[in-house]
Every structure is written in C-alpha cells, then in structure tokens.
C-alpha cells in the first residue's frame, strides 16, 4: 500500500456574529481540484460552511476528514495526516455563520478524494446543542504521466545477407507526452540503442534495428527507456522478449 503524504493548508476562516435561523444550514464544496503530472502541483481546496441554530448558539466547530479511494478499491478510507481530523472552533459569541476553507496538496494519483465534514454547535456552557455531517463531491486525480509500451515484432530482410531489420512500435498509452528516450535491442553491456525524440500521448513511433539474423532458439530482447529518463505511470511493461521468428 502506498504511503500517502499530504500538506494541509488552512486558507480562510470566517465567523459572523448575529442572529440565525433555528434550523441549521451546512454545506461542503470543492472549491478547486487541480490535476497535474507533478505531485507537487496536485491539490484540492475544500470549503465547509455552517450557520447558527438560534440565539442559544455561542460557538460552532467543524472537523475535516480526508478520504481516499485508490484504484481497485470499492470503498473510501480515511487519510491520517497532520491537520486532519481535528476540531476547528469559531470564536465565542459566533451564532451567525462560520466558514472554513482548507487546501490539501501533494495528492497521489490516480485516486479519488473527498472530505467528510462534521459540524457541531455549542451553547455558552460548552454543551453540544446540535450535530450534522456532510460529504463533499469527489476530486478525481488521474495519473497524467506517459506510459511507454512495446508493440509486436516485425522483420524484414537486411541490407546484406546475414542481416535482418527488426522493427517494433513504441506506443504511449499514458495521458501525458513523453520526451526523448532510448530503445535498446539485445542484452549485455553493449546493446544496440536508438534514440526516439518523443511520443505524444496516444501516439506511436516505429523503431528499427539492423542486426545479425537470429536463429531458432534465440530470444530477442527489446527495452524502452532503459536509462529510466521518462517518469511513467507503469514501469513494468518496458521490456519485450520474443522468440526468433525466422526459425534459423
């Protein structure tokens, strides 16, 4: 399981003194859901708002609990992080309205995020006179990184006897564009290398190598981005191994 690390930033606290309707009014909204390929630029801003419940209200309070649902999960789980799960109280004498806005940064992706906000109202003696809870809508954080994959092998006659042209297609199955990278053919200390200037998201780039013709029983090995210069959403599908198709 991934270890999530978040930064919680209180953006705005607003309390208004004055009369209010007897029935409590509460709400939770997602003010902004910023997606990015960089974890440092992914964040969500949540806002909780509540009104007093009449003249008996002396203070109000909110508690934000961040919940995450990761790929493959059917339920949300609560994130345990500094600044979350603690009560935020208004100043005494606040019975008109109370607003609190928080920003949660460094969100992992892909994942869905939401907050559950609990609300409480207190009288002058500090007794709880009303409770409520609401959940926000979801802030979805897709993984916007590229994902390089190798397609099927093709072969053609080489420029001279004993040589074969081996071709593979490099496809970017991710959501983000990939910059320049290399594709390697062969194993050992000196594989053949071809530089690809980049592949846009959803696009494909053919790559070819000219090498001695393989024989039956040989295994051909191709690897995309062997130096790991591209930050991918999936690094487990970068190697293609295939039996020699010529049969000798």
User: Model confidence over 202-214: pLDDT tens digits?
Assistant: 999 999 999 999 9
Tell whether 39 and 111 lie within a shared domain.
yes
Mark whether 123 and 166 lie in a shared domain: no
Task: State whether 135 and 154 are in the same domain.
Answer: no
- Are residue 28 and residue 114 in the same domain, yes or no? yes
Tokens read off for 218 = 């040989």
Identify the domain boundary among 110, 141, 172. Answer: 141
Mean pLDDT confidence for 188-207: 92
What is the CATH number for 95?
2.60.40.3590
Residue 22 has pLDDT above 60, yes or no: no
Confidence (pLDDT) at 20: 41
CA 169 to chain centre: 28
User: Are 32 and 121 within one domain?
Assistant: yes
Among 99, 116, 141, identify where a domain stops.
141
Please indicate, yes or no, if residue 248 is contained in any of the structural domains. Answer: no
Looking at the fold, whether 71 and 167 belong to one and the same domain comes out as no
The yes-or-no verdict on residue 6 having pLDDT over 70 is no
Distances (CA, A) of 146 to 33, 70, 132, 172: 21, 19, 43, 6
pLDDT, position 52: 86
User: According to the model, what pLDDT value does residue 245 have?
Assistant: 86
Q: What is the mean pLDDT of the chain?
A: 89
Asked if residue 160 and residue 114 are part of one domain, the reply reads no
Whether residue 79 sits in one domain with residue 195: no
**2: in domain:** no
Sign of the CA dihedral running 27, 129, 13, 101: negative
CATH number for the domain that contains residue 238: 2.60.40.10
Q: What is the mean pLDDT of residues 22-34?
A: 88
Least confident among 54-58, 129-133, 146-150: 54-58
Are 66 and 117 found together in one domain? yes
What tokens does 182 get? 């290399």
Domain extent at residue 156:
148-243
pLDDT at 1: 44
Question: Average pLDDT, stretch 67-86?
Answer: 91
Query: Which H, E and C letters describe the chain, residue by residue?
Result: CCCCCCEEEEEEEEEECCCCCCCCCEEEEEEEEECCCCHHHCEEEEEEEEECCCCCCCEEEEEEEEEEECCCCCCCEECCCCCCCCEEECCCCCCCEEEEEEEEECCCCCEEEEEEEEEEEECCCCCEEEEEEEECCCEEECCCCCCEEECCCEEEECCCCCEEEEEEEEEECCCCCECCEEEEECCCCCCEEEEECCECCCCEEEEEEEEECCCCCCEEEEEECCCCCCCCCCCCCCEEEEECCCCC
158 and 208 Cβ atoms separated by less than 8 Å:
no
Whether residue 101 sits in one domain with residue 36: yes
Q: How far apart are CA 102 and CA 100, in angstroms?
A: 7
- Which of 141, 168, 203 is the endpoint of a domain? 141
Average pLDDT of the segment spanning 196-225: 94
Alpha carbon separation from 203 to 173, 179, 185, 195 (Å, rounded): 8, 13, 21, 16
Number of domains in the chain: 2
């Amino acid at each position: 399981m991934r270890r999530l690390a978040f930064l919680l930033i209180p953006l705005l606290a607003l309390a208004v003194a004055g009369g209010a309707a007897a029935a409590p009014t509460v709400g939770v909204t997602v003010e902004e859901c910023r997606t990015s390929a960089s974890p440092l630029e992914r964040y969500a801003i949540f806002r909780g708002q509540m009104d007093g419940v009449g003249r008996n209200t002396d203070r109000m309070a909110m508690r934000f609990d961040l919940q995450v649902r990761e790929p493959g999960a059917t339920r949300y789980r609560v994130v345990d992080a500094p600044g979350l799960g603690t009560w935020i109280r208004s100043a005494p004498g606040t019975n008109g309205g109370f607003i609190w806005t928080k920003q949660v940064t460094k969100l992992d992706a892909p994942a869905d995020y939401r907050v559950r906000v609990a609300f409480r109202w207190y009288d002058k003696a500090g007794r709880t006179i009303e409770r409520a809870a609401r959940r926000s809508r979801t802030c979805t954080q897709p993984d916007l990184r590229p994902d390089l994959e190798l397609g099927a092998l093709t072969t053609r006659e080489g420029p001279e006897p004993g040589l074969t042209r081996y071709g593979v297609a490099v496809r970017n199955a991710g959501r983000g564009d990939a910059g320049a990278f290399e594709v390697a053919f062969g194993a050992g200390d000196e594989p053949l290398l071809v530089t690809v200037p980049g592949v846009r998201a959803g696009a494909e780039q053919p790559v070819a190598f000219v090498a001695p013709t393989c024989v039956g029983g040989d295994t051909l090995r191709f690897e995309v981005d062997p130096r790991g210069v591209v930050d991918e959403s999936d690094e487990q599908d970068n190697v293609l191994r295939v039996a020699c198709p010529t049969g000798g």
